Structure formats: C-alpha cells, structure tokens
Amino acid sequence: MGSHIELAKRTALYSPCRHRVGAVIAAGPRVLATRSNSRRNSPRVDFHHATFHAEEAAVRRVRNPAGTVIYVARVNAAGEPVMARPCERCQRLLAAVGIVGAYFTTWDGSVDYLDIARSRRAPAVGRTGSASPALRDRR
C-alpha cells in the first residue's frame, strides 16, 4: 500500500491543475494505471467540469478495473500531501466499474481508506421520493 500511495503523490506532481491530484489503480502489487488530473475545459467556459479528475482519468486507462484498488493523492504547492478523498461523482464512477476501495491522502499526511464496494451496496434512500417524514428523519 505504501509504495502505491507514494507513486500517487509523485504522479500528482505532474498535474497542470491548481489542485494537483494523482491516482494509481493497482491489482495487489501490480500497477495498472497512473494518471494525474488534467484540464478539460476552460474554467471560464465550464467551471464545474473544468478538469478530468485523476480517478476518472486512471479508470479510463484500465480495461477491467473490477476488483482493483485505487490510490489517490493530492499535493499542495510545497508537494506535501493534503486531503484527496474522492468526490461523490468519482465515488459513483469507481463503484460502477467495480473498484473495491480507495486509499487517499488526508490533511495531516496520513492515509485513509474508503470502502467503495460497501458504499455501492448502500440503498439509494429517497430515490422514489415516497419515504415517510419519519423515515427521512432517521437518515
């Protein structure tokens, strides 16, 4: 795990974006893809979709990511690791392609883990809009 997250940090250094993020997809010790986030559209044109997130870019490089783990690192201007928890959109993407978990750097320099496979099985509460007020309050 340690070497993969270190590789993700080094990959982040290549990002042309202000928030530099690197992602590594690995099957055990074997690295399948490394990608940093990159520019997609001018922020002036489409602020919310201005970048390809590193997770998204790495997933596109792997033919069959099912059962793999992703390592996500973000670095600040000094190259130190900062919070890189995958966003909601990337979490949905990772779950959809069968990636089981995500290690990511955090504010204090440690590495946290997100159980993607488990979050995928979580029920989509409120999707039908028919839940009673009591049920809604409980979540």
Enumerate binding residues for Zn ion (CB under 5 A). 53, 87, 90
* Separation CA 90–CA 45 (nearest Å): 22
CB of 65 to Zn ion, least distance (A): 15
Sequence letter at residue 94 = L
Cβ distance to Zn ion smaller for residue 7 or 90? 90
Cβ distance to Zn ion smaller for residue 92 or 131? 92
CB of 56 to Zn ion, least distance (A): 7
Within 13 A of 41's CA, how many CA atoms are on the CB side? 8
CB of 137 to Zn ion, least distance (A): 30
Q: Which of 20, 24, 22 is nearest to 3 (CA)?
A: 24
Cβ distance to Zn ion smaller for residue 66 or 87? 87
Cβ distance to Zn ion smaller for residue 40 or 131? 40
* Separation CA 9–CA 106 (nearest Å): 12
CB of 86 to Zn ion, least distance (A): 5
Backbone conformation region of residue 98, classed left if phi is above 0, alpha if psi is from -120 to 50, else beta: left
